[in-house]
Structure 1
Amino acid sequence: MSREARRDDLIAAALDLFSTSPPERVSVDDIAARADVSRPLFYRYFSSIRELQVAALRTVTDGLIDRLAVDAEGEPLDRLRAVVRGLIAVADEYRAGYIALLRSGSVIATSETEALVDQVRNRAVELILAELGVAEPSPLLLVTLRCWTAVVEGTLLSWLQEGALPRDELDTWLVDQLVAMLTVTATHDPATVSFASPPARRGGRR
């Protein structure tokens, strides 16, 4: 097995364990056993359990960013719903890893993991601005979009941890939240447009 393949295998083993245990409770021995390698071999690829945790969490954020890059068909709102469904699928696939990324006070939280989360948030904002046709968003529009990403994260955390929200309604509800937030922002900021705006208004500040 190549070095890269072995490294990926260890990351996959870690993510598999994260599906049933919080990352901070998974040890080097647990990962080595799941990947069927020795403890010394583990340290040939990662200097510490923390390095592997960050690499595994990067796999989660890479999956989220890949979903944000999906070029779905249809109207803007339909495309955005498709993207949100993709985010839901990734969060569900990497449930424990996603929770670890966003959970307040996580013992594995570092400036690096926070930067990984910011990459996803920034890509989501870029995607929405592109759909709105806005090249130079106003400060209030940016605040609105960043607040919506927080709504998405909070909703997915509640869904993953409590299971009380119906999955098949999450994408529509979250997109409706965005439309409502943009509509309210537009009443306070003439530079803001919404998905419901007529074509003549689309474009905002350029």
Structure 2
Amino acid sequence: MTTTDHRPRRMSPEERRQALIDSALELFGRNGSDRLTMEDVAAHAEVSRALVYRYFSNIEEIRVAALRAAVDDLVGRLSRQRDGDLLDQLHATLEEFVSFAEERAAGYIALLRNGSVIATSETAALVDEARHAVVGQVLERLEPVAPSPFLLLTLRCWVAACEGAMLTWLQERTLTRESLVPWLSGQLVGMIGATAAHDPEVAAILSLLEPRSAQPSSA
């Protein structure tokens, strides 16, 4: 008669480090990180304080590693190739953005909260990296020869609006996901439309963001 060994599998150093980062992300998202301690991370991960110190020398190292993990995940998702016209690609990218926020809500909330809570150049740079990645993905699809100051300002303002909307949506869920994504893309179209009145180069981009039904037929 054979018996099954139910003892937990021993983690490799890489797996253990990732488990500690995941615990930190959850705690950061739930409580913020300005008052979090190494002891808090150890308790949440159900390991000893000494084990945490084996991988990280202080709470700042954990904070940076956790934010790095969240940024890498988000940037990787947003960088995937998309099919279809510009509006289809925008919708698909936003779907991925919302999926990240839903699946890793703690990490996403931690990412945004730390942008205003932590006054260190390294963590601020990580938050900016995520924002630049979103702007970069839109610019890559718009393919302007040289993005104008008006266009860059518009996209950065849109990213800020998306961040605020996602934080509110995660907490309140007053809209369905199916209605949230087209609303977010509509915000970009509306903001680019407003900017087009001040910048002819942006006006040329606006037609690329119109639904197919609104574009003139080539027949």
TM range, normalised to the smaller chain? 0.7 to 0.9
Paired with 2:60 and 2:129, the residues of 1 have a C-alpha distance of 20
CA gap of 1:168–1:109, structure 2 versus 1, over 3 A, is farther
Match of 2:111 among 62, 78, 101: 101
CA gap of 1:67–1:26, structure 2 versus 1, over 3 A, is same
Between 1:92-101 and 1:171-180, the stretch displaced more is 92-101
Map of 2:160 onto structure 1: 150
CA displacement 1:84-134 (0-9 Å, x = unmatched): 111111122232332233238854453322211211211122211121121
Cα deviation, residue 141, structure 1: 1.0
In our comparison, the structure showing a higher alpha carbon Rg is 2
CA displacement 1:128-173 (0-9 Å, x = unmatched): 1121121311111111111111111111111123332332211111
Map of 2:187 onto structure 1: 177
Q: Which residue identity lines up with residue 125 of structure 1 in the other structure? A: V
The answer (yes or no) to whether the contact 1:141–1:185 under 8 Å persists in 2 is yes
CA gap of 1:197–1:3, structure 2 versus 1, over 3 A, is closer
Map of 1:79 onto structure 2: 89
Q: Which residue identity lines up with residue 55 of structure 1 in the other structure? A: A
Query: Is 1:196–2:207 an aligned residue pair?
Result: yes
The answer (yes or no) to whether the contact 1:68–1:87 under 8 Å persists in 2 is yes
Q: Which residue identity lines up with residue 58 of structure 2 in the other structure? A: S
Match of 2:38 among 28, 46, 55: 28
How many residues in Structure 1 have an aligned counterpart in Structure 2? Answer: 198
Paired with 1:189 and 1:77, the residues of 2 have a C-alpha distance of 21
Paired with 1:99 and 1:15, the residues of 2 have a C-alpha distance of 9
The answer (yes or no) to whether the contact 1:29–1:39 under 8 Å persists in 2 is yes
Q: Which residue identity lines up with residue 96 of structure 2 in the other structure? A: G
CA displacement 1:14-44 (0-9 Å, x = unmatched): 2344464434454423322343432112111
Paired with 2:103 and 2:49, the residues of 1 have a C-alpha distance of 27
Map of 2:62 onto structure 1: 52
Q: Which residue identity lines up with residue 8 of structure 1 in the other structure? A: Q
Q: Percent identity?
A: 51
CA gap of 1:115–1:73, structure 2 versus 1, over 3 A, is same
Q: Which residue identity lines up with residue 28 of structure 1 in the other structure? A: M
TM superposition score normalised by structure 2: 0.79
Map of 1:123 onto structure 2: 133
The answer (yes or no) to whether the contact 1:179–1:196 under 8 Å persists in 2 is no
Gaps of 5+ in 1: 199-206
Gaps of 5+ in 2: 1-10, 210-219
